[in-house]
Each structure stands twice: as structure tokens, then as C-alpha cells.
């Protein structure tokens, strides 16, 4: 296959839409688009006010998708997300009233403020793309993407995300503060309201679903696959690691690499794609031993060390 010019025009148009209102975050937007085209979910961790919510809102507006936002807090119930069955006396039966998860893009804002029981309501949706309420399974709209945010510095009233849920996020991103010039431009851009509210759709979700199918056809040769798996398996064998990356991580990594190559207008994956994505696909899936953390080792530095120690394959392309 070759990368379709029509598909690339759509991807470029969506990225341009996002870059017009989320200034100075070109690479983060590229990673978000990578996860979308790979069919994955994204966790964005950063301090408040760095544009996390606006970026997701802009993405949904650009694609004319059904967008819902849930503000997570300790009294949020699982049914507040999935929906609930309500009894209708006149019809003498229960009728399912869908929750906000019945959308193309769901933003779970400050997800670590929801209790573990509520967080677990998202597990089926993230993996099976469906929710089960009162024994009845309801499929989600296609495509479906969960984007979650969390605050890394406020620990009061927060709950740690379980490993099983972290493993279902394809990527974990950090926004970071803008530089001085970008922040000046942000002030000017917000004079007449939030720029994301002014965006117009440049495509629809059916078209995005078609591009996702194209992405799966991107070629990844055995040498690059072995290179990727060598890094993943090294996380399981490292003496400082308590829990390494799972086989689900390998599958997500491969899909992300294909989407990243596609965005770069290639129909094959390069080793550089693996190297550039590893710091965003793997660290949140890894648990470092407490004694290693005392030596200032964290998951991010571990991945950097493994990449430096891994031999890059010479064979590229097809």
C-alpha cells in the first residue's frame, strides 16, 4: 500500500485545526493524533491550566464527533458514566438511559479524583468498546477514544490509577508550560473567547474510522518488530523493575508506531519511530522497585537507558 493523499490531507487539516488554538504544542498534538489513528486512549498528566481540556475539545470539534466531558470527583458513581436502566411503569419494563460514555470522544477530567470503583467502570469500555449494565451489553460508538487528565501535584482526595487501567492507555503525555512568546500569543488568541469554540469540523468520525483501517496496513518488518520487542522484553527482565510492560503494551506499541509512520507519510515503520514513541508508550506501564527509586531511577530514565543499550537494526523499509 501507499499512504493515501486524501487521508493525509484530512490528517493535516485536523492537526492544523488543533495547532491554531493550542499554540506551541506541535509534537504533543502529533502524539495525540497518533493515538487517535491507532485506535488508542490517552492519559494527559500536567498541572492545571496548560491546555489539556482545550486540546481534547478541539480534537472533537475538528472531527464532528460526539464529545462528552465528565468531571471526576469522589462521589461520581459508575452509572454516572456508563448509564443506568430506569423502570417505566407504563411500559412495564426497564429502559437503558445511556451515560456520557456513549460518545466518540470522552474526556475524563481529573480521573484520579474518581474512586477506584468508578475508574473500573471504564475498563470494559477501553478494551472491549462496550459497557454492560444490568447484564446487558451495549456497544459504544465507533470509533471511541477515552482521553483522561490528571494533576500530578495535588494528592488530596485522589486515587492512584490501578495498573490494569494504566496499561489500557496507549500513551501518557505531558503538556508543559509554554515559552514566553507562545504565552503572549495565547493571551492575544483568547481576547474573544476560547479558540477551540471557534473551530469548524474538517472531517467526520466515519472518515477517521477509514483512516484507522489504513493505518493497520502500514508495514512493520521483522527487524523493526524484533527491535521493538527487545525493548519491551528488557523492561520485564531488568533487575530494578517490579512490573514490566505487558503483551498488551507490545500490541499498542506496534499500532502506535504504524500510526506515527502514517502521519509522517510513510507506509512502513522505521526504528526511529520506535525510539521516538517509547518514552510515551512504555513508562506508565512499568513499576520500579522501591529500592531502585531511592537511587533516583524512574520509569522514564529506565526507558532512556534501554534505548541507549539497544542495537538499532540496519534493515529498514520493506
- 139 secondary structure, DSSP code: E
Helix axes 5-21, 247-263, angle to 10 degrees: 100
pLDDT of residue 145: 97
pLDDT of residue 183: 85
pLDDT of residue 220: 95
pTM of the model: 0.92
Output Rg (C-alpha) for the chain, integer angstroms.
Answer: 20
pLDDT of residue 87: 81
Helix axes 222-237, 247-263, angle to 10 degrees: 140
CA gap 302, 295 in Å, rounded: 12
Mean pLDDT per block of 10 residues along the chain (318 residues) reads 86 94 92 97 89 91 92 91 86 85 95 87 91 89 94 72 91 90 84 76 95 96 95 94 94 98 95 96 94 87 93 69
pLDDT of residue 154: 62
Q: CB of 51 within 8 A of CB of 66?
A: no
Q: Which helix (H) or strand (E) holds 135?
A: none
DSSP output for 218-243: SB--HHHHHHHHHHHHHHHH-TTEEE
Q: CB of 219 within 8 A of CB of 268?
A: yes
Other Cβ atoms less than 10 A from the Cβ of 92: the count is 7
Amino acid at each position: 500500500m501507499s499512504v493515501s493523499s486524501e487521508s493525509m490531507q484530512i490528517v493535516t487539516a485536523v492537526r492544523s485545526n488543533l495547532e491554531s488554538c493550542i499554540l506551541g504544542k506541535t509534537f504533543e498534538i502529533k502524539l495525540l493524533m497518533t493515538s487517535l489513528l491507532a485506535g488508542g486512549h490517552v492519559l494527559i498528566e500536567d498541572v492545571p491550566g496548560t491546555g489539556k481540556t482545550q486540546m481534547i475539545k478541539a480534537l472533537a470539534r475538528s472531527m464532528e464527533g460526539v464529545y462528552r466531558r465528565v468531571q471526576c470527583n469522589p462521589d461520581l458513581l459508575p452509572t454516572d458514566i456508563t448509564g443506568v436502566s430506569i423502570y417505566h411503569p407504563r411500559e412495564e419494563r426497564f429502559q437503558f438511559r445511556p451515560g456520557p460514555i456513549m460518545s466518540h470522544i470522552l474526556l475524563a477530567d481529573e480521573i484520579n479524583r474518581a474512586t477506584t470503583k468508578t475508574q473500573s467502570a471504564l475498563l470494559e469500555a477501553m478494551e472491549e468498546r462496550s459497557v454492560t449494565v444490568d447484564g446487558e451489553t451495549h456497544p459504544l460508538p465507533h470509533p471511541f477514544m477515552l482521553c483522561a487528565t490528571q494533576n500530578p501535584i495535588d494528592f488530596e482526595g485522589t486515587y492512584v490509577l490501578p495498573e490494569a487501567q494504566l496499561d489500557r492507555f496507549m500513551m501518557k503525555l505531558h503538556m508543559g508550560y509554554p515559552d514566553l512568546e507562545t504565552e503572549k500569543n495565547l493571551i492575544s488568541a483568547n481576547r474573544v473567547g476560547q479558540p477551540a469554540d471557534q473551530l469548524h469540523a474538517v472531517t467526520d468520525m466515519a472518515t477517521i474510522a477509514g483512516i484507522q483501517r489504513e493505518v493497520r496496513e502500514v508495514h512493520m518488518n521483522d527487524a523493526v518488530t524484533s527491535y521493538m520487542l527487545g525493548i519491551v522484553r528488557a523492561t520485564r527482565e531488568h533487575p530494578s523493575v517490579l512490573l514490566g510492560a505487558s503483551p498488551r503494551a507490545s500490541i499498542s506499541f506496534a499500532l502506535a508506531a504504524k500510526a506515527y509512520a502514517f502521519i509522517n507519510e510513510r507506509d512502513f515503520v522505521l526504528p526511529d519511530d520506535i525510539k521516538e514513541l517509547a518514552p510515551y508508550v512504555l513508562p506508565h506501564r512499568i513499576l520500579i522497585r522501591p529500592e531502585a527509586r531511592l537511587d533516583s531511577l524512574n520509569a522514564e530514565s529506565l526507558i532512556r537507558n534501554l534505548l541507549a543499550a539497544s542495537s538499532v537494526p540496519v534493515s529498514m523499509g520493506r
